[in-house]
């Protein structure tokens, strides 16, 4: 047989690879096995009888399956490894029916090819990663940007159709590879223009300029004053919590006023917001409280001699307790370093105790477009309306998603709550992500679903399937208790 006869064409995505016998396509997910197009990776089901992170259990040809996959609510067919709807007009690869508590349910399962997708990364750190809107690079290519800093975290937005398709071929390829690694929980090195080098891995502590971040701050400087003022009262005369965003000063803060803390005459550099709260005390950086301060005394202008007194005790601490120093004023009212009393050490430790471990959180975000929806129904807008009306539940690899308000089905999911290696890619470039739609059979008929392709679990072959344990924090996709998708009248559309 010639090479031409040994070669088949894959139609699973727009690349349309020609694949020789014994070889895989560009995505490494489909292969030519003796002239037949086959999946290389298995189709995954969730089995909640397996412990989270437990051993993968393959279903082989010899297993006596009997079709109880969904009849038993302990198992759920995910879209991981299910295949796609490409060339788009095709119904979803699996449209599975099962009765649950006397209600006929349908789960529509497909792997979406997402050109319109990206990741949002939450990095727990007090350190300055880079200027807002600065370009984030992977392998030298722009793949996203720094976005707003939130409470104790820095945010990055990576990917999106512009980086995937509007730049050079290399930019698109590197962006796709970066998104895929992040979604599959692999470590990725990123460089921020005008800022830091950071290694990000979902569910792990970020590594910033070679240092593993330990904890997320307890709060801003003002919040720390509010939380601990009563514990400090009577044991130290003044406390300054150094913070790049809002530095707090105990004696001026309302918490200190209510407690009756004596005025100390301290004068802080920076822009005073409200009593005891200061902005812009220093430049952003990787030192005290996310500032560039190596010496916290640099933010103190002076102590008013008409108010302050020799021996006044001063604790300066960062929002994580990582940096702390204890001073007492000398006869010239200058802060002098002193050995802190044991009680002061306890205060610093209490701040540290209230700081949660620093993590990197990766959220995949994608828009389920018209072609993907056509795999569910002949009239795609009805699926959008059904999701909006909470008649259809959307999951991603069995994990719960957040659906953005407004038009379309734009969703976000925490990649750490999916089974491992749940995401794939095709060299268009685009990310392949699982998506499942679960609703009543009556509602599926009302939205114009592909009823001719609905089949019971008993019709599925046991070949090339794997059962894995779901994340214990996830609600079970088939648990209908308290969810409108299952409690509304089944005839509603």
Residues 287-323: tens digit of each pLDDT? 999 999 999 999 999 999 999 999 999 999 999 999 9
Helix (H) or strand (E) holding 143: strand 141-150
Q: What are 248-282's pLDDT values in tens digits?
A: 999 999 999 999 999 999 999 999 999 999 999 99
Position with higher pLDDT, 88 vs 280:
280
211 lies in the same domain as 324: no
105 lies in the same domain as 81: yes
125 lies in the same domain as 195: yes
Q: Which of 187, 216, 245 is the last residue of a domain?
A: 216
Position with higher pLDDT, 9 vs 161:
161
Question: Would you say residue 189 lies in a domain?
Answer: yes
Query: Tokens for 56?
Result: 């993968």
Q: Which of 328, 353, 378 is the last residue of a domain?
A: 353
Question: Can you give the pLDDT at residue 46?
Answer: 81
Question: Would you say residue 22 lies in a domain?
Answer: no
Read out DSSP for 310-347? TT-EEEEEETTSSSEEEEEE-TTS-EEE-PPPHHHHHH
Q: What are 129-179's pLDDT values in tens digits?
A: 999 999 999 999 999 999 999 888 999 999 999 999 999 999 999 999 999
Averaged confidence pLDDT in the chain: 88
Closest CA to 370 of 85, 11, 16, 15: 85
Question: Would you say residue 19 lies in a domain?
Answer: no
- C-alpha 24/C-alpha 6 separation (Å) is 13
Q: Are 219 and 151 in contact (CB under 8 A)?
A: yes
Closest CA to 196 of 208, 212, 206, 211: 208
- C-alpha 140/C-alpha 321 separation (Å) is 35
- Asked whether the predicted pLDDT for residue 50 surpasses 80, the reply is no
Query: Tokens for 435?
Result: 């998506």
CA atoms within 13 A on the CB side of 80: 25
- C-alpha 9/C-alpha 405 separation (Å) is 40
Mean pLDDT, rounded, for 466-490? 65
Mean pLDDT, rounded, for 351-361? 96
Identify the residue whose tokens are 């292969």: 31
Q: Would you tell me how many other CB atoms lie within 10 Å of the CB of residue 343? A: 12
Q: Which of 15-29, 36-50, 85-99, 402-416 has the highest mean pLDDT?
A: 402-416
Position with higher pLDDT, 478 vs 64:
478
Question: Can you give the pLDDT at residue 6?
Answer: 83
228 lies in the same domain as 288: yes
Percent of the chain with pLDDT over 90: 70
Q: Which structural domain range is residue 148 located in? A: 117-216
241 lies in the same domain as 334: yes
List, in order, residues 6 or more apart from 330 with CB less than 8 Å away. 310, 336
Position with higher pLDDT, 451 vs 28:
451
**Torsion region of 67: left, alpha or beta (phi above 0 gives left; psi -120 to 50 gives alpha):** left
Question: Would you say residue 226 lies in a domain?
Answer: yes
318 lies in the same domain as 266: yes
- C-alpha 17/C-alpha 417 separation (Å) is 32
Question: Can you give the pLDDT at residue 4?
Answer: 55
Residue 64 DSSP label = -
List, in order, residues 6 or more apart from 127 with CB less than 8 Å away. 154, 196, 208, 213, 285, 286, 290
Q: Are 88 and 374 in contact (CB under 8 A)?
A: yes
225 lies in the same domain as 339: yes
Per-residue pLDDT band for 285 (boundaries 50, 70, 90) equals very high
Per-residue pLDDT band for 417 (boundaries 50, 70, 90) equals very high
* Total structural domains within the chain: 3
- C-alpha 58/C-alpha 347 separation (Å) is 53
Question: Would you say residue 31 lies in a domain?
Answer: no
Q: Which of 53-67, 172-186, 233-247 has the lowest mean pLDDT?
A: 53-67
Q: Which of 294, 327, 353 is the last residue of a domain?
A: 353
- C-alpha 314/C-alpha 312 separation (Å) is 7
Beta strands 313-318 and 238-242, pairing class: parallel
204 lies in the same domain as 245: no
Closest CA to 178 of 144, 204, 147: 144
111 lies in the same domain as 121: no
107 lies in the same domain as 140: no
Question: Would you say residue 11 lies in a domain?
Answer: no
226 lies in the same domain as 338: yes
Whole-structure pTM value: 0.87
408 lies in the same domain as 447: yes
């Amino acid at each position: 047989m010639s090479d031409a006869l040994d070669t088949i064409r894959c139609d699973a995505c727009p690349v349309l690879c020609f694949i020789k016998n014994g070889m895989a396509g560009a995505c490494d997910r489909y292969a030519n096995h003796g002239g037949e197009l086959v999946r290389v990776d298995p189709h995954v089901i969730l089995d909640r009888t397996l412990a989270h992170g437990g051993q993968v259990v393959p279903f082989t040809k010899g297993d006596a399956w009997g079709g109880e996959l969904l009849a038993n609510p302990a198992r759920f067919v995910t879209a991981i490894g299910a295949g796609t709807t490409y060339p788009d007009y095709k119904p979803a690869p699996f449209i599975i029916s099962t009765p649950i508590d006397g209600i006929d349910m349908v789960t529509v399962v497909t792997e979406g090819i997402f050109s319109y997708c990206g990741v949002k990364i939450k990095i727990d750190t007090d350190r300055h990663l880079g200027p807002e809107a600065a370009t984030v690079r992977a392998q030298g290519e722009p793949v996203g940007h720094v976005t707003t800093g939130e409470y104790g975290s820095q945010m990055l937005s990576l990917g999106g159709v512009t980086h995937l398709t509007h730049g050079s071929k290399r930019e698109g390829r590197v962006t796709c590879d970066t998104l895929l690694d992040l979604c599959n929980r692999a470590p990725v090195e990123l460089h921020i223009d005008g800022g830091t080098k950071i290694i990000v891995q979902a569910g792990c502590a970020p590594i910033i300029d070679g240092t593993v971040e330990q904890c997320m701050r307890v709060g801003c400087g003002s919040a720390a004053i509010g939380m601990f003022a009563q514990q400090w009262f009577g044991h130290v005369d003044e406390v300054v919590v150094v913070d790049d965003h809002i530095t707090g000063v105990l004696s001026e803060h309302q918490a200190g006023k209510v407690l009756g803390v004596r005025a100390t005459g301290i004068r802080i550099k920076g822009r005073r917001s409200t009593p005891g709260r200061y902005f812009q005390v220093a430049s952003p950086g990787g030192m005290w409280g996310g500032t560039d301060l190596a010496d916290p005394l640099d933010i103190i202008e002076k102590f008013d001699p008409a108010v302050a007194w020799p021996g006044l005790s001063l604790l300066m601490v960062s929002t994580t307790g990582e940096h702390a120093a204890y001073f007492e004023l000398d006869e010239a009212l200058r802060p002098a370093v002193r050995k802190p009393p044991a009680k002061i050490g306890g205060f610093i430790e209490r701040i540290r105790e209230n700081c949660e471990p620093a993590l990197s959180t990766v959220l995949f975000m994608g828009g389920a477009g018209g072609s993907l929806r056509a795999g569910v129904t002949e009239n795609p807008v009805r699926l959008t309306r059904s999701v909006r009306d909470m008649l259809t539940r959307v999951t991603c690899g069995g994990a719960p998603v957040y659906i953005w308000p407004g038009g379309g089905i734009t969703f976000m999911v925490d990649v750490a709550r999916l089974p491992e290696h749940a995401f794939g890619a095709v060299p268009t470039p685009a990310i392949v992500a699982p998506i499942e739609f679960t609703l009543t059979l009556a509602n599926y008929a009302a939205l114009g679903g592909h009823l001719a392709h609905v089949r019971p679990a008993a019709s599925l072959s046991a070949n090339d399937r794997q059962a894995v344990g779901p994340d214990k924090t996830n609600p079970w996709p088939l648990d209908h208790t308290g969810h409108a998708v299952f409690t509304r009248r089944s005839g509603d559309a």
